[in-house]
A and B are shown apart, each in its own frame.
Chain A
Amino acid sequence: MKKIFSKAAAVCCALALSACGSGSRSAVTPPDGKLDKCTLRFSWWGGDDRHEATLEAIELWNELHPDIGIVPEYGGWDGWTEKVSAQVSGGTEPDVMQINYDWLITLSPDGTGFYDLGALTDTLDLSGFGEDMLSFGRVNGRLNAVTVSVSGRSLFYNSDVYARLGADYPSTWDELLALGEVFGREELYPLDLDIQSGGTAWYLAVVYIQQKTGRQFISMDGTLGFTEEDIANALRFYKELEDAHVIRTIQTRTDEDGNAALYQSAEFIGGKIAGVLEWGSTVGKYEAVLGDGVLEAGPLLTDGSGSSGGWMIKPSLLYAVSKGTKYPDEAAAFIDFLLNDEQCAQILGTTRGIPASRYAEESLEASGKLRGLAQESDEQLEAVDTMTVSPYMELPRVKEYCNSAIEKVSYGTSDPDEAAQELSSSITEYLEKIKK
Chain B
Amino acid sequence: MKKHICRNPVGVSKYTGLLLILPFAVGAVLFILYPFVSSFILGMTDYSGVGGAEFTGLRSYLDMLADSDLTQAAGVTVRYALILVPLKLTVSLLVALLLSCEIRGIGVFRTVFYIPSILGANLAVVIMWQYLFKSSGLVNQFLGVFGISPVSWYGDSRFAMLMIVLLRLWEFGSTMVIFLTALNSIPREYYEAARVDGCGRVRAFFSITLPQLRSVIFINLVLQTIAAFQEFNAPFMLTDGGPLRGTYTLGMLIYQEMFRYSNVGYANAVSWALFAAIAAVVGLMFVLLRRKGEDER
Contacts and interface: CB of A to CB of B under 8 A. Distances in A.
Given A15-B34, A106-B262, A255 B154 contact: yes
Nearest to B41: A16
A87 to B, nearest CB: 10
19 contacts: A12-B37, A13-B38, A19-B38, A22-B51, A81-B260, A89-B49, A107-B50, A110-B51, A112-B51, A250-B155, A251-B155, A254-B155, A258-B129, A258-B130, A258-B154, A396-B261, A400-B260, A407-B242, A411-B244
A89 B264 contact: yes
A48 interface: no
Given A20-B42, A259-B126, A408 B133 contact: no
Contact of B29 (A8, A108, A260): A8
Contacts of A9: 33, 37
B161 interface: no
Contact of B238 (A12, A110, A251, A259): A259
A22 B51 CA distance: 5
Contacts of A17: 41
Interface of B: 29, 33-34, 36-38, 41-42, 45, 47-53, 126, 129-130, 133-136, 152-156, 237-240, 242-245, 255, 259-262, 264
Contacts of B244: 407-408, 411, 413
Given A9-B37, A12-B37, A16-B37, A251 B156 contact: yes
Interface residues of A, number: 45
Contacts of B42: 16, 20
Interface string A94-123: 000000000000111110110000000000
B71 to A, nearest CB: 15
Given A81-B260, A251-B243, A255-B152, A89 B238 contact: no
Nearest to A15: B34
Residue from A15, A110, A259, A397 whose CB has the most chain B CB atoms within 10 Å: A259
A406 to B, nearest CB: 11
A15 B49 contact: no
A20 B155 contact: no
Residue from A17, A88, A196, A260 whose CB has the most chain B CB atoms within 10 Å: A17
B41 to A, nearest CB: 5
A202 B126 CA distance: 27
B32 to A, nearest CB: 10
B243 A12 contact: no
A255 B260 contact: no
Interface in A240-298: 250-260
A186 interface: no
Given A16-B41, A408-B244, 13 more contacts: A8-B33, A16-B37, A20-B53, A21-B52, A22-B52, A83-B259, A109-B51, A254-B243, A256-B136, A258-B130, A259-B130, A259-B238, A407-B243
Contacts of B130: 258-260
Nearest to B30: A12
A230 B203 CA distance: 69
A396 to B, nearest CB: 5
A38 to B, nearest CB: 25
A20 B47 contact: yes
Contacts of A8: 29, 33
B153 A255 contact: yes
Contacts of A257: 134
A279 B156 CA distance: 30
Given A196-B240, A254-B155, A82 B51 contact: no
Contacts of B239: 259
Nearest to A253: B155
A294 to B, nearest CB: 23
Residue from B41, B50, B243 whose CB has the most chain A CB atoms within 10 Å: B50
Interface string A1-45: 000000011001101110111100000000000000000000000
A8 B38 CA distance: 12
Contact of B33 (A12, A108, A260, A408): A12
A259 B242 CA distance: 10
A19 B236 CA distance: 29
A436 to B, nearest CB: 10
A-B complex: 8 closest residue pairs judged by Cβ atoms: A16-B38, A22-B52, A251-B155, A82-B259, A89-B49, A12-B37, A255-B135, A258-B130
A165 interface: no
A134 B129 CA distance: 46
Contact of B50 (A108, A196, A251, A397): A108
Interface in A140-188: none
B49 A85 contact: yes
Nearest to A108: B50
Nearest to B235: A259
A31 B90 CA distance: 65
A260 B135 CA distance: 13
A12 B134 CA distance: 47
A20 B52 contact: yes
B53 A88 contact: no
Nearest to B156: A251
Given A9-B37, A16-B38, A85-B259, A256 B134 contact: yes
Nearest to A5: B33
Contacts of A113: 50-51
B130 to A, nearest CB: 4
A427 to B, nearest CB: 14
